[in-house]
A and B are shown apart, each in its own frame.
Chain A
Amino acid sequence: MATTAQVHQTKWWSGGKSPFNLEYGKLMMWYFLMSDAFTFGAFLISYGTIRFSQNFWPDPNVVFNAFPGAGHANLPLAFVSVMTFILIISSVTMVLAVHAGHKNDKAGVVKWLGWTIVGGAAFLGCQAWEWHHLITGEHAVLVDGQIDLIGQTMRANPWGSLVPHESVAAALQKTPHETLVALAHQSNHALSHEQLAAMTDQQLVNTINIDALHVRSKGPVAFGGYFYGITGFHGFHVFSGVVINIVMLKMTQNNVFQNRGHYLMIEKAGLYWHFVDLVWVFVFLCFYLI
């Protein structure tokens, strides 16, 4: 770094040069990211505002406790930590791609950019699974004195506070047949769906183990809106980042940057990608940890 002396000698602000020693494109990318930080900031702060205006908010460890292939096992935070690590690692591979670009090392850029794309795609896959799981999940919720099975959507939230056993027992008496069948199926895998469907309501209620059955009241609807809205907006950024990276990969392979003599575009794509990782750090904090 022979540049330290130069940094002090140069009259940065006297015109005719960039005061930050940065080409305009990188400067624009930085300020764009700053502006995007305010978009995400506004979303997350809105989420905080609504959360503070509620008396009850679901515990993230209860909501996010599933893992693909792990069935009903209670694994709070496990899957999201996988997602977080995927994103961190893809950020590292991006750093390496940018570094390879500095050295005009085309093969290196292709290799590391390729891995970054893989990481991004993997993250999107994880997010798709998580959304699917939450939307199609069937959770017992006490609605108007009877039990209903609802998933986590933009309009409904099944993660209210736990309903005491006495109320559950009373509610079961009023719950329609189909719901009882589904509930019985969840606690008793020995019997087939058809066998259960043939039983009377009272028999079904007797099959259901009330101690193992967790019935909740309806939770704050805003939870789903914010969760899908913000992780969706972040996912959209990941998706566009992957698209940008694919374009960069193609351009690298076609020697566009080699002929241009520099890989500055990769640096800008890299900044964007790291920003996506940065946002996830905060989404992770706001939705999964606190």
Chain B
Amino acid sequence: MQHPAFEEVSFHHHTDDDTFYKKVKKTTILLSIITVIELAIGLIIYNIHKGESPNELLVLMFKGMVCILTLAKAYYIVSVFMHLGDEIRNMVMTIVVPLLLFIWFITAFIWDGNSYRNLRNNYDKHFQETTTPAKGHGHQDKHQDPPAGKQ
């Protein structure tokens, strides 16, 4: 079947209404649930930080979980809403494979950012003293109510 307007397109996808609406509904609910979980984790992190000595490892674990959930959300948006999941496999690969570059992109940048901090903490004591939060009344909020603010 030739597409009416583009001769390079060999045939057309057809999805029946029922499957389509079911799929969209399912995805919407899924995205909402993931977002709610993410928010819940955000609040958990907030409460951990309020404690006397926050467990950094626990915080890191929760942050890792949010990252994974975000990737899941991205997957559903791209695959269902943008219909990439319905495309030919090779097309999917041309999108997914270049994104792998982000792995080294992120790793190298963050690695060097971290190293820059270590270098300055080692060789720029002023930087270290003025920017490191003092222990005891560090960056954790011990108070329930918000900082003074004007609406």
Contacts and interface: CB of A to CB of B under 8 A. Distances in A.
> Do chains A and B make direct contact within the complex (CB under 8 angstroms)?
yes
B146 A48 contact: no
B137 A164 contact: yes
B35 A85 contact: yes
Interface string A222-265: 00000000000000000000000000000000000000111010
A136 interface: yes
Interface size class of chain A, counting residues whose CB lies under 8 Å from the partner chain: 35 or more
Interface string B38-82: 110111011001000000000000010011001001100110111
B15 A45 contact: no
A123 to B, nearest CB: 15
Given A20-B90, A48-B110, A288-B42, A136 B24 contact: no
Given A77-B43, A139-B147, A285-B70, A21 B105 contact: no
Contact of A41 (B105, B132, B143): B105
Contacts of B131: 54-56, 220
Contact of B133 (A7, A55, A262): A55
B18 interface: no
Interface string A3-28: 10011001010000111111110000
Contact of A51 (B113, B144, B147): B113
Q: Which of A3, A162, A183, A284 counts the most chain B CB atoms within 10 A?
A: A162
Given A49-B112, A54-B117, A187-B148, A95 B134 contact: no
A107 interface: no
Interface string A70-88: 0111101100010011001
B132 to A, nearest CB: 4
Contacts of B137: 161-164
Nearest to A272: B82
B66 A285 contact: yes
Contact of A52 (B105, B114, B150, B151): B114
Contact of B110 (A10, A18, A49, A216): A49
Given A46-B109, A81-B35, A139-B148, A20 B88 contact: yes
Contacts of B11: 3, 6, 21
Contacts of B70: 281-282, 284-285, 289
B142 to A, nearest CB: 8
Contact of A61 (B45, B90, B110): B45
B31 A88 contact: yes
A278 B78 contact: yes
A214 B146 CA distance: 8
Interface in B89-133: 90-91, 94-95, 98-99, 102, 105-106, 109-110, 112-114, 116-117, 120-121, 127-128, 131-133
A77 B110 CA distance: 26
Nearest to B78: A278
Interface of B: 3-11, 13-15, 20, 24, 28, 31-32, 35, 38-39, 41-43, 45-46, 49, 63, 66-67, 70, 73-74, 77-78, 80-82, 87-88, 90-91, 94-95, 98-99, 102, 105-106, 109-110, 112-114, 116-117, 120-121, 127-128, 131-134, 137-139, 141-151
